[in-house]
A and B are shown apart, each in its own frame.
Chain A
């Protein structure tokens, strides 16, 4: 055993550390397109103190540490680009507190989306959180770290906007509280009225610290939930349609999809919206307002509501929705990756055209999936491609298509979401130089030895 291996075993116990090839193989990769890179060690801590010890050790040894949730971000963010220690957060999965009155839950940094939603459903049936459509093993901390979006994003913004406070192990090994919890026993705000320091960690992919606890804001869970799908054959009308729907302020979630398969979806754009209510009257009231808001498109024959077959409803209403996971395997061989820039809704027509163009150019199976963010201030447009992992040509074509997406995004004013290392580099190169300087200052001050998820948000001066 190496010294580091010994030290790690001392910290977490021998059963929870490994440098065996089978584990190293597994932790070297994610389900996306990035080439794998092996870590030297994998460790699975269960307490904050253990994480502190691991980070201190890494600092002493100048060895990288990469925190990992479920590894589902798909863009290589947990691939240990420079080796070192992967910290698998899965054992830190306790739900520590639910404050029903103030509507928040405090969970540990490895708690999964599925765990929290199941817990709430059982114990607090009137509360819910913003569930992303990622598989339920995806972790809450990682999701806010990458500014994920979920089922309440149309109403409440990014999932990271719905954080009520953080506990972070800094690269120095110190533990730090962020938000109201720094001063109060209440975890009700991640920043205001204090300076909002959560920005030092959210969006940094673990490159500035490891989140060991966080408060997730909870929202009313209504008794009934329903979905409607408005269909148009004119992509250029989609921004208007979204504008009308969001103007009513009646929709919980607004999603858009365009894809050629199954055949019933070919050549159309589908704006689906979800409504909720505690009574039928509430639900019907919301439905009516939105339907009426779209009346002019129906009258002009530019769009209409599709009759959703009863068999399709449960699939559409499930949380997370599995349709994206299904797309992931249309080509068999389980390869799936999307580039999901955050971009203004007015750019929908250009994005959907580009997606089709790339799919036809590279012969790829595709889907365009959109989540409207925060009442329509922006959207996440996923340029999603499925590929067969055992087909190197198809993988290469997907890489090329995604590279073209990266270039396109900047041209149309988009901002990368959970960018690959290459996209991070492009973002840094193209951003305001003083912003870049500020980011660099933050990173170097927090992580002078550059041990935290190195390769990500790396500043080449």
Chain B
């Protein structure tokens, strides 16, 4: 019943076809790119189904408000074209299944969403979160489910997301600060694309951190680190929030190294690639990405997503680049970590 809002005529008249022209994993000229996108929209076959590695970036590249990646995902699902091995998809669907094991702190009108990433229990503390905690929620019952677009499975999202919204509605919260970038992407981008009503205002935790750091400005001691930022796939769903990375870094005196694979050109952590496509793709992407960090003298690799940190953290550490989550970095700047 929830249908993707996609306007094919926008593709037909698109002057750039950036969605596929800019793709880092396929090499397409504008005309071909446009043709393939229209093919996909019309339900025809396309080699894009083979070549797309589910990095989500085309959602950002499209400047006309269309949803190229969601469309690819929908059509893949319709055609039964799997991205991931069946067992992996099954496993992830099981992982996200609500089991009544959720945790709710003392939710006020504004609540912190930990998604179901237990890492946030350790991070959401200290002065940054003084005013916000213990208003938090955690668990599959509040899980944004966006990850399933990696697995060409939007039907599970359409089934679960409305129930998740209902759980939020029952809590009566007005604002949800999403500590996981994916959740924000889901509530602010994916849900509207499918006409799923979101009963609260989603707030990206970057905004929360930025505002809070401004309040704590006097406590900030510039860190003077040179860092590389690991942009997660989900950040492509909320590119308007990406600028906050620089704003926050400026505020805490951290210098973002100007490297090749950042901003629009960022590379995925490779976690999903390893699961879906095997060694070569994951290894190639990770190697290029990490070498690029090292080449530009990054002392820290700053993560937005704990899952990316889980995938790449140890690897960058072995190269002498310290892995750190954005929240921890900000806590460090106010002398807490």
Contact = CB atoms under 8 A, between A and B. Distances in A.
Interface stretch (A100-108, A245-253, A297-305): A297-305
Give 8 closest A-B pairs by Cβ, nearest first.
A304-B85, A291-B279, A233-B87, A231-B87, A298-B278, A304-B88, A263-B94, A301-B82
A294 B88 CA distance: 15
Contacts of A292: 279
Most buried by B among A292, A303, A307, A310: A307
A291 B278 contact: yes
B311 interface: yes
B124 to A, nearest CB: 17
B91 A301 contact: no
A264 B283 CA distance: 26
Contacts of B85: 231-232, 297-298, 301-304
Contacts of A266: 90, 94
Nearest to B82: A301
Interface stretch (B29-37, B257-265, B268-276, B294-302): B268-276
Nearest to B83: A301
B86 interface: yes
Contacts of A303: 85, 87
A339 B271 CA distance: 37
Interface string A364-402: 000000000000000000000000000000000000000
Interface in B90-106: 90-91, 94-95, 97, 99
B90 A267 contact: yes
B277 interface: yes
A305 B84 contact: no
Given A231-B85, A232-B85, A304 B276 contact: yes
Contact of A264 (B82, B95, B310): B95
Interface of B, helix, strand, loop or mixed by DSSP: helix
Nearest to B271: A307
Nearest to A229: B91
Contacts of A307: 271, 274-275, 307, 310-311
Contacts of B51: none
B278 A263 contact: no
Contact of A304 (B87, B307, B318): B87
A301 B86 contact: yes
B91 A268 contact: yes
Nearest to A269: B87
Given A303-B87, A304-B85, A307-B275, 10 more contacts: A233-B87, A263-B99, A265-B94, A267-B90, A268-B91, A288-B283, A298-B276, A298-B277, A305-B278, A307-B307
B118 interface: yes
A126 B227 CA distance: 38
B86 A264 contact: no
Contact of A305 (B86, B118, B275): B275
A155 B325 CA distance: 40
A407 interface: no
Interface in B3-40: none
Contacts of B86: 233, 301-302
A306 B92 CA distance: 9
Contacts of A294: 278
A266 B95 CA distance: 10
Interface residues of B, number: 27
Given A280-B318, A295-B278, A307-B275, A264 B88 contact: no
A192 interface: no
A306 B318 contact: no
A311 interface: yes
A393 B277 CA distance: 47
A304 B283 CA distance: 15
A269 B271 CA distance: 20
B234 to A, nearest CB: 16
Contacts of B90: 233, 266-268
15 contacts: A231-B91, A263-B99, A264-B95, A265-B94, A288-B283, A292-B279, A295-B278, A298-B276, A298-B277, A302-B86, A303-B85, A304-B276, A307-B275, A307-B307, A307-B310
A307 B275 CA distance: 7
A433 interface: no
Most chain A beta-carbon contacts within 10 A, residue among B90, B95, B279: B279
Contact of A310 (B94, B95, B276, B310): B310
B313 interface: yes
Most B CB within 10 A of own CB, among A291, A297, A298, A302: A298
A213 B279 CA distance: 47
B84 A304 contact: yes
Nearest to B84: A304
B82 A309 contact: no
Nearest to A310: B310
A233 B92 CA distance: 13
A263 B140 CA distance: 12
Nearest to B118: A311
B43 to A, nearest CB: 22
Nearest to B81: A301
Interface string B52-88: 0000000000000000000000000000001011111
Contacts of A295: 278-279
